[in-house]
């Protein structure tokens, strides 16, 4: 029995299309009504989660879509997963929902077990965790850890702050509040708050009208695909980009305390970087005492064929901080160096210090993924899917360009010829019963769950074929 | 039957003190073990939430404390509340936990009802809501709304952005990313992320080593207490502080787009401001086109004798944005002016757009509070408690100074003579079975639940009396 059959005995065997105008009439009514209290303009359709099963999401018009977007890459196992339902009904979960401790001051006796379950899924080399509430929050908590670490090193690990530091910080001035930068990359996405927004550069709409830190941006490699046919060009691209990074670090008017990067730039277009590039960043950050932060918010938890995408690169020594959210349901960062625990209590602190309800879900996800070997299964189905898409790319060369994500399980993307063509493709494939997402201007990204199997891949491929045949 | 008897038939009738060294031996063991994976230095004791009931929190050593700190002011009704347990077991909750939609793109059909339940508790004059995940997040989302509103007004509500804006924003430069400020107040606390941290100024430990926006800080009134005996001084203090605010707005090198303030500065010492001061801020912000944000993260949801503390001030017209979190369990901001909905979709947006599980809890809290008239009950018990504390202040004038919070229900605080004395008091009262919190350097703050009644107040008062008699 396959894992999807085990989890979802009543999963649909094919998409159900009841109405081809999307949103359908019932969704439209619900969107208008929801709009009275909520910005409902970005709503694609109103879902019926009671009827959604496994890899299929139902809407209020009776459509049942094969879902390879999965809540913007945030559903690990599929809808109405029985193991998660069991966790949701557990006495531990009910306590976490009803009491919600200030975990830093009054943790419950079950917190340790909850955290240790999460750590069973930590990236290789990381054995500690700090918890937050969203991807943006996770990244900003990591920045705080990085700034404290960087300054502690600079001042030689003395425990006391000077009177001048204590006084100036209350006025948002140096030396208590120093000018320090996090270097990031063009086309990166790390969230939409003010520090996370300052390291984000994928689309203007995320940032317009907001003040930002004047932090520098390096260049992320722009490879030619397929990768294996363009190694010379891509290697020189790595070298070019690594030089830019080092140049910024050594010449930035604001000292660079940390570097943040996605293993695959996701929102920014599924842009890949090589193992050599990511190792090069390790070398240059070590050389200059810069904290190396890997943002695995979208790439984490198995979708690329490793539990964490940066494990493909075998970075040595391990990156300093690895952030997570989305499919993990809980958010935060992993680390291993005890120096990332600040020198005093209450420096990395807030009222809740994470959400134990979401942490319980995260631990359950780790257990299900490991017990059922879902990462390797994703790798297998991803290899099959990639092969089928390669065939379609030959058949429709103008509509499937720059196919990428080989050996990255189901974390696959390609380009169409224009933004209009991409948007039209996404709309038409929805009309054919498959929910797919885009990224950047012209790209399509596949983000199925870890219970996406060959039978789902076949439906996806045949639907793409059908849509492109009439395109 | 009183509400605490109705909700909590097995609530203890008095604190149980099993060990007077706090943390006790079992807590100590658990703290040490937890410390392997989590920064457990700030832990007071490890709680047993299964055994906690109503206004009493149990620890793993068998102590049962009357809890007037309530998870840093984050528990509205008490532990193991039956209405919340019912909500936690509902099919709607299980769906919210197991599916977790990207609410902006694929909301479930129950979202509208969930939001409308939250809006039943909105402050007077506010009829819309945007949802986030924590108090800091709520404030930063409000800043984003304020910056977009301010810039839209400046550019005359055109819908298009210029090429220069679209290009410069990707480099974190003006005009796309303009230099704009949020004015806040000394001793304020609005969170610990980077923008929320830049408007926070209660303690250096919250901010040291972090870069910040160089935003200006005004002075919050420093009143003499009791308020009714010092009206002349306090009125002139209002005028002084209002002038400083206007002066900063008109002379700041960075244009001031928004002002944020707590109705009572909580973390910063339970500092009160008068209705005239808060109305004066409305007048000056209106005059200069500055967005007026009230941070009700700690004061909201009934603890001051109104559902929202700023309703005591009858501010006219209503403040623009009111943020919430903590006792509400869900986070976000309320507003009424449709111009705070950005001119384009996806500008105020993120993957989750709030947590439906915590929103369900929030709606349940509103229902229970309104159905059981808990705000008025808090007002009554608060008046009684304040009167008893006034008597103790006469008996112990050096240990109960600047008693404040009259007519603010149970939102009461006072000062001791030094930080050491305050910390010693908090430790000794814990040893006597009452969990109390501090704020600022020398203050004690009371933050009981809304089911705290005369019988609880009597235990609290007699325990304070006992502790201070031996002090």
pLDDT tens track for B292-302: 999 999 999 99
Give the separation between CA B96 and CA A181, rounded to whole angstroms: 38
Query: Which one of B34, B105, B128 has the shortest CB-CB distance to A37?
Result: B128
Residues in B closer than 8 angstroms to A210, CB to CB, are: 144, 147, 177
Q: Which chain A residues touch B346 with a CB distance below 8 Å?
A: 42, 205-206
- Tokens read off for B96: 């919210």
Question: What residues of chain B lie within 8 A of the CB of A208, using their CB?
Answer: 148, 161, 165-166, 169, 176-177, 347
Phi, psi of B425 (to 5 degrees): -60, -45
Q: Which of A30, A210, A295, A361 to mutate to test the interface with B (most CBs of B within 10 A)?
A: A210
| Cβ of residue B95 closer than 8 Å to a chain A Cβ | yes
| Strand, helix or coil for residue B57 | strand
Alpha-carbon dihedral sign for residues A157, A159, A160, A164: positive
Collect all residues of chain A within an 8 Å Cβ-Cβ radius of residue B106. Answer: 43-47, 57, 71
Please tell me if residue A41 touches chain B, with a CB cutoff of 8 Å.
yes
Q: Do A47 and B85 touch (CB under 8 A)?
A: no
Instruction: Note whether A195 contacts B194, CB cutoff 8 Å.
Output: yes
Contacts of B87 in chain A (CB under 8 A): 97
Q: What percent of chain B has pLDDT over 70?
A: 100
Residues 6+ apart with CB under 8 A from A20: A431
> Chain A: residue nearest B201 by CA?
A170
How high is the mean pLDDT of chain B? 97
Residues in chain A: 471
> Does the annotation mark B334 as catalytic?
no
Measured distance CA(A340)–CA(B11) in Å, rounded: 42
Number of Cβ within 10 Å of residue B286's Cβ equals 12
Is A160's pLDDT higher than 90? no
User: What pLDDT shows up at residue A118?
Assistant: 97
Using the structure block, give the residue that is written with the tokens 């605010």: B245
Q: What per-residue confidence (pLDDT) applies to A200?
A: 98
Comparing CA positions, the residue from B352, B210, B359, B104 lying closest to residue A297 is B352
A326 catalytic? Reply is yes
Q: How far is B266 from chain A (nearest CA, A)?
A: 13
Å between B81 CA and nearest CA of chain A: 7
pLDDT value at residue A158: 81
Binary contact (B358, A361; C-beta < 8 A)? no
Strand partners, B439: B443
Contacts of B348 in chain A (CB under 8 A): 39
Looking at residue B159, its pLDDT comes to 73
Q: Between chains, do A194 and B195 touch, taking CB under 8 Å as contact? A: yes
Residue B238 annotated as catalytic:
no
Which of A314, A119, A293 minimizes the C-alpha distance to A191? A293
Per-residue confidence band for A318, with pLDDT thresholds at 50, 70 and 90: very high
User: Residue B207 and residue A74: Cβ atoms within 8 Å?
Assistant: no
| pLDDT for res A201 | 97
What pLDDT is attached to residue A283? Answer: 98
**What per-residue confidence (pLDDT) applies to A157?**
86
Write out the two tokens for B446.
Answer: 């009371």
Q: In the prediction, which pLDDT does A439 show?
A: 96
CB neighbourhood size of A251 (10 A): 9
Kindly determine whether residue A105 and residue B49, on different chains, have CB atoms separated by under 8 Å. Answer: no
Residue A449 · residue A32 · CB < 8 Å: no
Residue A384's pLDDT is what? 98
Contact B108 A47 (CB under 8 A): yes
CB pairs A-B closer than 8 Å: 356
Radius of gyration, alpha carbons of chain B: 23
pLDDT per position as a tens digit, B399-435: 999 999 999 999 999 999 999 999 999 999 999 999 9
> Residue B152: which residues within 8 A CB-CB, separation 6 or more?
A209, B339, B342, B343
Distances (CA, A) of B282 to A98, B152, B220, B258, B294: 37, 20, 15, 11, 11
Closest CA to B299 of B312, B289, B290: B312
Confidence of residue A18 (pLDDT cuts 50, 70, 90): very high
CA gap B142, A105 in Å, rounded = 28
Number of residues that this document lists for chain B: 471
A 208-267 residues with CB < 8 A to B: 208-215, 217
B326 part of the active site: yes
- Classify strands A443-446 and A437-439 as parallel, antiparallel or unpaired: antiparallel
Contacts with A251 (C-beta within 8 Å, 6 or more apart), sequence order? none
* DSSP conformation letters of B410-456: T-EEEE-SSHHHHHHHHHHHHHTTEE-EEETTTEEEE---TT--HHH
Looking at the predicted structure, is the pLDDT value of residue A349 above 90?
yes
> Among all chains, which residue has been given the structure tokens 């620890």?
B59
Answer with the residue of higher pLDDT: B366 or B158: B366
Which residues on neighbouring strands pair with residue A294, listed in sequence order?
A: A261, A322
Go through the domains of chain A in sequence order and give each one's CATH number: 3-81+373-469 (3.90.1150.10), 101-354 (3.40.640.10)
| CA dist., res. B351 & res. A82, Å (int) | 24
Q: Are A202 and A188 in contact (CB under 8 A)?
A: yes
How far is the alpha carbon of B387 from chain A, nearest alpha carbon, in Å?
Answer: 30
Closest Cα in chain B to A141: B193
Residue A400 in this model has a pLDDT that exceeds 80: yes
Q: What letter does residue B219 receive in the DSSP assignment?
A: P
In chain B, which residues have their Cβ closer than 8 Å to the Cβ of A365? none
What is the rounded CA–CA span in Å between residue B145 and residue B340? 6
B 343-402 near A (Cβ less than 8 A)? 344-352, 355, 357-358, 361
> What integer is the mean pLDDT of A19-27?
96
Residue B38 C-beta-side C-alpha neighbours within 13 Å = 30
Q: What is the 3-state secondary structure (H, E, C) of A358-413?
A: HHHHHHHHHHHHHHCCHHHHHHHHHHHHHHHHHHHHHHCCCCCEEEECCCCCCCEE
Query: Is A166 near chain B, with CB under 8 Å?
Result: yes
CA distance A229 to A143: 37
B124-165 per-position pLDDT tens digit: 999 999 999 999 999 999 999 999 999 999 998 887 899 999
A76 close contact with B: CB closer than 8 A: no
pLDDT tens-place string over residues B181-221? 999 999 999 999 999 999 999 999 999 999 999 999 999 99
Average pLDDT over residues B438-453: 98
In degrees and rounded to multiples of 5, residue A213 shows phi and psi of: -75, 140
| Of the candidates A206, A452, A418, the residue with the CA atom closest to the CA atom of residue A327 | A452
CA end-to-end span of chain A: 37
Question: Using CB atoms, which residue from B106, B140, B186 is nearest to A47?
Answer: B106
- Calpha distance A138→B301 (Å, rounded): 28
In chain A, pLDDT over 70 holds for what percent of residues? 100
Digit-coded pLDDT (tens) for A202-248: 999 999 999 999 999 999 999 999 999 999 999 999 999 999 999 99
Q: What integer pLDDT is reported at residue A159 of this predicted model?
A: 73
Instruction: Convert the pLDDT of each residue in A189-199 to its tens digit.
Output: 999 999 999 99
Q: How many CB atoms lie within 10 A of CB A288?
A: 14
Predicted pLDDT at B115 = 97
What is the average per-residue pLDDT within B304-332? 98
Which one of A74, A92, A97, A157 makes the best mutation probe of the B interface by having the most chain B beta carbons within 10 Å? A97
What residue has token string 């910056």? B147
């Amino acid at each position: 029995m396959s894992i999807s059959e085990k989890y979802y005995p009543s999963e649909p065997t094919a998409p159900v299309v009841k109405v081809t105008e999307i949103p359908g009439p019932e969704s439209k009514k619900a969107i208008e009504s929801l709009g009275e209290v909520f910005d409902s303009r970005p709503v694609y359709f109103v879902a019926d989660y009671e009827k959604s099963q496994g890899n299929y999401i139902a809407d209020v018009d009776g459509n049942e879509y094969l879902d390879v977007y999965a809540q913007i890459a945030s559903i690990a196992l599929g809808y109405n997963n029985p193991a998660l339902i069991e966790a949701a009904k557990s006495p531990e979960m009910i306590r976490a929902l009803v009491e919600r401790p200030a975990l830093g001051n009054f943790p419950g006796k079950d917190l340790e077990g909850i955290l240790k379950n999460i750590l069973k899924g930590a990236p290789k080399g990381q054995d500690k965790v700090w918890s937050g509430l969203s991807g943006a929050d996770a990244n900003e908590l990591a920045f705080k850890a990085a700034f404290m670490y960087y300054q502690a090193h600079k001042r030689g690990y003395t425990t006391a702050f000077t009177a001048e530091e204590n006084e100036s910080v209350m006025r948002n001035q140096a030396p208590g509040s120093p000018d320090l930068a996090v270097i990031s990359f063009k086309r990166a996405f790390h969230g939409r708050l003010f520090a996370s927004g300052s390291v984000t550069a994928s689309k203007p709409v995320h940032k317009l009208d907001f003040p930002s830190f004047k932090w520098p941006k390096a260049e992320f490699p722009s490879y030619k695909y397929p990768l294996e046919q363009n190694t010379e060009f891509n290697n020189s691209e790595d070298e070019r980009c690594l030089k830019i990074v080092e140049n910024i670090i050594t010449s930035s008017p604001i000292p660079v305390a940390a570097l943040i990067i996605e293993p695959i730039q996701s929102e920014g277009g599924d842009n890949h970087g090589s193992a050599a590039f990511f190792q090069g960043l390790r070398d240059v950050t070590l050389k200059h005492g810069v904290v190396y932060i890997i943002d695995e918010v979208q790439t984490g938890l198995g979708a690329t064929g490793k539990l964490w995408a940066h494990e493909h690169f075998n970075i040595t020594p391990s990156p300093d901080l690895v952030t997570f959210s989305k499919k993990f349901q809980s958010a935060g960062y992993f680390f291993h160096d005890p120096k990332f625990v600040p020198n005093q209590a209450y420096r990395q602190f807030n009222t809740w210090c994470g959400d134990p309800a979401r942490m319980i879900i995260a631990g359950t996800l780790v257990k299900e993924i490991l017990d059922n070997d879902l990462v390797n299964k994703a790798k297998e189905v991803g290899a099959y899917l990639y092969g089928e898409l390669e065939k379609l790319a030959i058949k429709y060369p103008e509509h499937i360009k720059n196919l990428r994500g080989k050996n990255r399980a189901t974390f696959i993307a390609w380009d169409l010829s224009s933004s209009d063509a991409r948007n039209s493709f996404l709309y038409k494939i929805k009309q054919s019963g498959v929910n797919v997402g885009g990224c950047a201007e012209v790209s399509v990204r596949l983000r199925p769950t870890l219970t996406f199997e060959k039978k789902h891949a076949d439906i996806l491929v045949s639907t793409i074929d059908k849509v492109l045949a009439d395109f």
